[in-house]
Each structure stands twice: as structure tokens, then as C-alpha cells.
A and B are shown apart, each in its own frame.
Chain A
Amino acid sequence: MPVLEVKNIKKSFGKLEVLKGIGFELQKGEVLAIIGSSGSGKSTLLRVLNFLEKADGGSIAVNGETLYDANIINKNKDGDLRKKRLHFGLVFQSFHLFPQYNTLQNVSLALNLLSKEKVREMLRQDKRPFMTRLFALPKTYKLYRDMLKKEMTANREKAIKIIERVGLSDKIDCYPFQLSGGQQQRVAIARALALEPDILCFDEPTSALDPELTGEVLKVIKDLKNYNSTMIVVTHEMEFAKDVADRVIFMCDGKIEETGTPEEVFGNPKSERTKQFITRF
């Protein structure tokens, strides 16, 4: 069963139709590179997958569970939407790290907030009579604090491990403004990884970086492949797409113009437009 099934996604902004029916499947551990000129709808596609934009048509399913179907009018409550978002991770072009938090805090913030909710939810399951609960309040509070502390410690260790994986152990206490662009983007990758999304999306992860800094970020992404991460990378780095992707999609005017293995798309493109696009690089 594919990890991700996207069918016939459509999206318009006013009169402008940005996505005109996009569909593809992704297997576990597969890396998909999406290439195409600006304005072809690549970024919008990622935003739709991450529920930052609502698709006008089509459906999205992860591990066989339909997360979104435009034909079914489902009132997405804030809570449901959040759970759905957790299936995906998104690394932005311009990082969007939280400036007031250091590396470790940036990576562990979302984990800690989820832990807090989890513990609170457990306490809410307490169905004893009100007076019993009232008298047990000091004990419950202690329980709450102990549980939370345990979770936070686990989160911290997890975050440290992930930061190590992106090679920033020595920058763990640094604030974003103290880091180079490449380092900031690696923190952003670690932040997305911490929640263990089923599919990790990258929206032109190196486009905001100086050329000499792109290498370190691409290396980290390439390395994630060894951990069997399923990834979608929107990129202008053709060499990288060739090197890392298992499959390449070339998008043009909101449609999939051509798809195949990197060898097929780069070596022997069938479509005239793909040929034109590739020879420009």
C-alpha cells in the first residue's frame, strides 16, 4: 500500500487555476523530486498537502486513510486538522525558525506541547466523582508534573539525537540569528523530523541560501534517505534531483507534464516542454 495517494488535486486562487488535477502515489521510503519553472504550482501543491491551503477538488490519503476529500463536506475542526497535519512535515524555503528559541527549543517545542496535551488528556479521563477528584487535587498535580517531566526529558533526548543527525550538536544553545543560513535550514529540518511525519516535504530548501551553503543542506536531505524517510522535494537543484530522487515529476502550468525515474526524465524526456526546461539548466 502506498504511503501517500494524491488524486486529481485542483486549486484556484480567484480566476487563476494553479493546480489542474494533480495525482501521484508515493511508496514508503521513496524520494520524489518535483521540478518545474516558477509559477507551475509546485509550492502550492506542497501547501495543499500540508493543509495550509484547502484544495478545491481531489483527495489525499495517507496509509490508506483518507485525510481530505473535496467531495465529502467535512467540517474540519481545528483539532482534526492538526492531527492530519502531523502526517506531513514541511521545510520552508526561508526556514521560519522561531527567533526567540534556541536550536534545542526550536526542535523540541512542538514535541513538548503535544506531550502537555497528552498528559492533560489522560487526566481528563479521570471519571471519579467530583469531590474525590477535588480532594485528590494535590496528588493529581504531582502526578501531572511527574508525567510531564518524564515526557519532557524524553523529548529533550530525542531532540538532541535529531540535532546530532543534522550535524549541529555544537550549536544546540545558539539562537537562529547566530547561525548561518545553511545551519538555520538544518535546524528547520530537525524541527520537522522531531514529529516523525510520514511524509517530509521540502519547499525549495536551498533557494534562499548562498551557493556555498547549499551543499550542507542537500547532504542532510540525502542522508535522510538512509533512514528510509519518505520525502517530496520541490527543487531547482537538478543535480540533486538526479542524484537522490527515486522519481521525478516535471510540473508545468499546474499539471504533471512528465513523470518517471531521474534517468527517464533527465536522460530521455518524452515531452517537448520537459526537454526545453532541462536544456536550460
Chain B
Amino acid sequence: MDFSQVTYQLLEGFGTTVLLFVLTLVLALPLGLLVAFGSMSKFKPLRWLTRTVVWIIRGTPLMLQVIVVFYVPGLLFGVNLGTRMTAVLVAFVINYACYFSEIYRGGIESISKGQYEAGQVLGMTKSQIFFKIVLFQVIKRITAPISNEVITLVKDTSLARVIAVGELILASQDIVATYGIIYPLFYSGVFYLLFCGLLTIMFNFIEKKLAYYH
């Protein structure tokens, strides 16, 4: 197996990795905001329910969650979740939404009461205050912790391998096992490195854009 064939096979796996990464972010970022509202709700049962869920999700390994989401619905209820990819995606979205929700919550609670009151005395609605005043300040404050999570997500996608989703690690392991060449393992590492490097540059750019005020 020559270099170009290896590259091609790894790229295929990388495609799955990127797809999982993008879909998880697109779904988990807004879902996390909903979870954050739940965990800050004035309605106590909802608040405790949300916080318990967040505790469970953050307190157990993502690998376990992937396995549970993949096997349990079928074994207990005879429901098929569709493809393996869907199962991984569901587990990832729930897991990351919970982590994001805590970052959002910290950000939202760090905005001073004065900002809300200033909006109120100017006759703004609750949603206007949130979207026109608070949210932007929250985004600025949470960029750094969010970028941390996002970069962790790049590497967490490899956990999809436990239920045999054909992502980057599985692709390189296949080559190693079949052809007995070792370098694809390091080669796959380069993919992760470049991807994370790109994201780092992107987040630096965003932080710089948001640095016009402090």
C-alpha cells in the first residue's frame, strides 16, 4: 500500500471525523444554551432535573455514554436508532451540550445585575435585554473556555471508534493491522494536529475581533 492510498483511506476516515465534529457543534452549541436556561430556571423542579442530568453526563465517561446510547435502546425497547453514526452523534450532542451549558451559565451569571437594570429602565423586554445587551458580553467572556472544549471535541471524536464508526483512528488502525505498516498511526496524528492548529488560529482571530472593547 503506497503513500497516496494510505492518504486516501485516512482522508475518508477524517471526513467522518469532521462530519461528527461539525454536526456535534452545530447541535450542541444551541442545545447547551437551552440546558443553561434550564439550570438557571426559577422553577425549582426543572432546575434540579437539569442539574442532575448535567451531573450524570459530566460524571460518567463519554465512552460509556456512546456505548449506552448505541446498545440500550435496542436491547431494552427494541428501538433502532438508525446508523451507528446517529448513536454516536446523539451521545456527543448530549455530552457536549451539558459541558457548554455550564460554560454559558458561568458567562451569563458573570454579567452584572446593573446591565439588566439599565436595560429595564430603558424599557427593554427581557428578550431584548438578553439578545441586545447580555449575550454579546457573554460570548466575549466564554470564547476561551469554549475553544478549549471545541479542541477537546476534535480528539473526542476518536471515541466513535468503540462502536466501529469508521473515523480517522479506525481507518489508520485498519491499515496497520492489514498491511503491517506503522506510520499511518503517526500520520493520523498529523491530521489531528493540523485540524487543532487551524481551530486555534480561528479562535485567536475571533478573540482579536472581540477585543475592540473591554
Contacts and interface: CB of A to CB of B under 8 A. Distances in A.
B213 A113 contact: no
Interface in A48-98: 50-52, 78-79, 82-83, 85-86, 88-90, 92, 94, 96-98
A51 B121 CA distance: 8
A83 B117 CA distance: 15
Nearest to B140: A100
A96 B132 contact: no
A52 B115 contact: no
Contacts of A92: 114, 117-118
Given A92-B114, A99-B137, A109-B132, A177 B124 contact: no
Given A99-B213, A100-B136, A176-B213, A110 B114 contact: no
B75 interface: no
Contacts of A177: 213-214
Contacts of A82: 123-125
A177 B125 CA distance: 26
Given A98-B115, A175-B213, A110 B137 contact: no
Contacts of B132: 109, 113
Interface size class for chain A?
20 to 34
B121 A88 contact: yes
Interface residues of B, number: 21
Contact of B128 (A51, A86, A113, A195): A113
Contacts of A94: 114
SS class of chain B's interface: helix, strand, loop or mixed?
helix
A191 interface: yes
B115 A191 contact: no
B213 A96 contact: no
Contacts of A192: 121-122
B126 A96 contact: no
Contacts of B123: 82-83, 85-86, 110, 114, 195
Interface string B130-146: 00110011001000000
Interface string A151-172: 0000000000000000000000
Contact of A52 (B117, B126, B137): B117
Contacts of A110: 122-124
Nearest to A51: B120
Contacts of B137: 99-100
Nearest to B137: A100
A50 to B, nearest CB: 5
Nearest to A111: B122
Contact of A99 (B117, B121, B214): B214
B212 interface: yes
Interface in A88-142: 88-90, 92, 94, 96-100, 109-110, 113-114
Nearest to A99: B213
A78 B125 CA distance: 7
Report which residue of B114, B118, B125 has the largest number of chain A beta carbons within 10 angstroms of its beta carbon.
Answer: B118
B121 A98 contact: no
A85 B120 CA distance: 8
B102 to A, nearest CB: 23
Contact of B118 (A86, A98, A195): A98
28 contacts: A50-B120, A52-B117, A52-B121, A78-B125, A78-B126, A82-B123, A85-B120, A85-B121, A85-B123, A86-B123, A89-B121, A92-B117, A96-B112, A96-B115, A97-B118, A98-B115, A98-B133, A99-B137, A99-B213, A100-B213, A109-B132, A110-B123, A113-B132, A114-B123, A175-B212, A177-B214, A191-B122, A192-B121
